[in-house]
Structure 1
Amino acid sequence: MDFLSTGPVQSSTVLILAHGAGAPMDSPFMNAVADGVATAAIRCVRFEFPYMAGRRHGGKKRPPDRQPVLLDHFQKVIQQISETAPKGASIYIGGKSMGGRMATLLAAQAVEKPLFQAVLCLGYPFHPPGKPEKTRTDHFPEISCPVLVCQGDRDPFGTRAEIENYALPSHVQFCWLPDGNHDLAPRVKSGYTKEENLAATIAAMVDFMEPDQPR
């Protein structure tokens, strides 16, 4: 498997971050997030699902793999990274959109103590755009570990107004990005900036993974 590792190799905190459905592991968004958490001495390891890796190596553009393939690959990545991480390291998993959803599904399926501590989602796809009745939250009650969701207020995959009416478990935390879209970026007229929302996202992620560290 090919990985992109950012941050100290011997860090005691490791974030395994999966990409979204349409962009690779080294998209500008993924690069910015990885670089941001690395400044807090957190090692961020990125990988690509088989369909995206195929595109990178000259294959034709394909849609995402079926869910069982995505989950199996993600689990293998977690196993491999956990075997090479420093002893006693805290491992977190997460991803952008689809990648974050796969991380929550793995957490929901864990029947024994998993290799990871918690899950981080960046723009979770709570429902398909324009179809708010088709929610993707049925598995959330099965998740026993903490979850952080960084979500734009106006994300078409789940707005703040919609999500605040969901009956989600109390250990699902939110970082709301003002006027943020699915990429967490606000509109120019809002008075907020993409850079501000990204900085707030990274700060929330770092605080979630290392809450006891002095800032």
Structure 2
Amino acid sequence: MTVDASLAPIDGIAHEPDNTPHGVVVLTHGAGGNRDSPMLVKVCDEWASRGWLAIRYNLPYRRRRPKGPPSGSAAADRAGIAEAVALARTLTEGPVIAGGHSYGGRQTSMAVAGEGSEAPLVVDVLTLFSYPLHPPGKPERARTEHLPRITAPTVFTHGSADPFGTLDELTAAVALVAGPTELVAIPGARHDLGSKTSNVPALAVDAALRLLA
């Protein structure tokens, strides 16, 4: 893992492969977390082991304050995501994959969908971990309006015990996405995707590579 000066604008940390990278993956964190989330570290390690440059980075609100929930404009966070993808494109001639955990994944998906007046963010694969389909216990508040505008291949990695959406609810939401999709179900996992029986990073990376192919 390295902290490179070129990653300073996105407060990023790179996981470098042994040889020339096949492409670049940029991943960000959930609402209460940061780039050092154990899940992000493990997923980036997995991507690097497959020959990809993997970067985990902090969203703009986390760059402003080390703790606490998202503050300020979600549009500003999406601008930070677009900045990370633009930076990734300067580092490779290969594919660029983007996504994140929970809030970070949701905002990345909204950027890819072209939320509001924003131009759609172009990525080769979108990879979402624990997509927060609705607030816990409030399935009527589904966060799905933008999903039909997503045309990029999209992976949803989701735990069967996640209070932010059941697997049945998520399956219905995934069907709204216009592009190719794959749902990676993790039995027994909650929102943090911790599992003693499933290799979550490997399963998620496998799915992303299938969609890329």
TM-score normalized by structure 1? 0.82
Which residue pairs with 1:174 in the alignment? 183
- Cα drift, residue 112 of structure 1: 7.4
Match of 1:92 among 97, 110, 128: 97
Q: Is the 8 A contact 1:21 1:64 kept in 2?
A: no
> Partner amino acid for 2:188?
D
Q: Is the 8 A contact 1:79 1:115 kept in 2?
A: no
Measured at CA, do residues 62 and 137 of structure 1 come closer, stay the same or move farther in structure 2, by a change above 3 Å?
closer
Measured at CA, do residues 62 and 20 of structure 1 come closer, stay the same or move farther in structure 2, by a change above 3 Å?
closer
**What is the SS of the residue equivalent to 1:137?**
coil
**What is the SS of the residue equivalent to 1:164?**
helix
Which residue pairs with 2:4 in the alignment? none
Matches within 5 A, 1:151-166: 151-166=158-173
Which residue pairs with 2:141 in the alignment? 134
Match of 1:109 among 97, 114, 122: 114
Query: Across the two proteins, how many residue pairs are aligned to each other?
Result: 198
Q: Which has the larger radius of gyration?
A: 1
Q: Is the 8 A contact 1:13 1:209 kept in 2?
A: no
Q: Is the 8 A contact 1:95 1:103 kept in 2?
A: yes
Can you give the 5+ residue segments of structure 2 that lack an aligned partner in the other structure?
1-8
Q: Deviations over 1:23-56 (max 9, x none)?
A: 1101222212211222111211111112212234
**What is the SS of the residue equivalent to 1:65?**
coil
Q: Is the 8 A contact 1:91 1:117 kept in 2?
A: yes
Which residue pairs with 1:184 in the alignment? 193
Show structure 1 runs of 4+ deviating over 3 A: 60-65, 110-115, 164-167
TM-score normalized by structure 2? 0.83
**What is the SS of the residue equivalent to 1:136?**
coil
- Cα drift, residue 115 of structure 1: 4.1
- Cα drift, residue 134 of structure 1: 0.3
Q: Deviations over 1:164-196 (max 9, x none)?
A: 3445236232000001111123xxxxxxxx243
Distance, in Å, in 1 between the alignment partners of 2:182 and 2:14 is: 26
- Cα drift, residue 161 of structure 1: 2.8
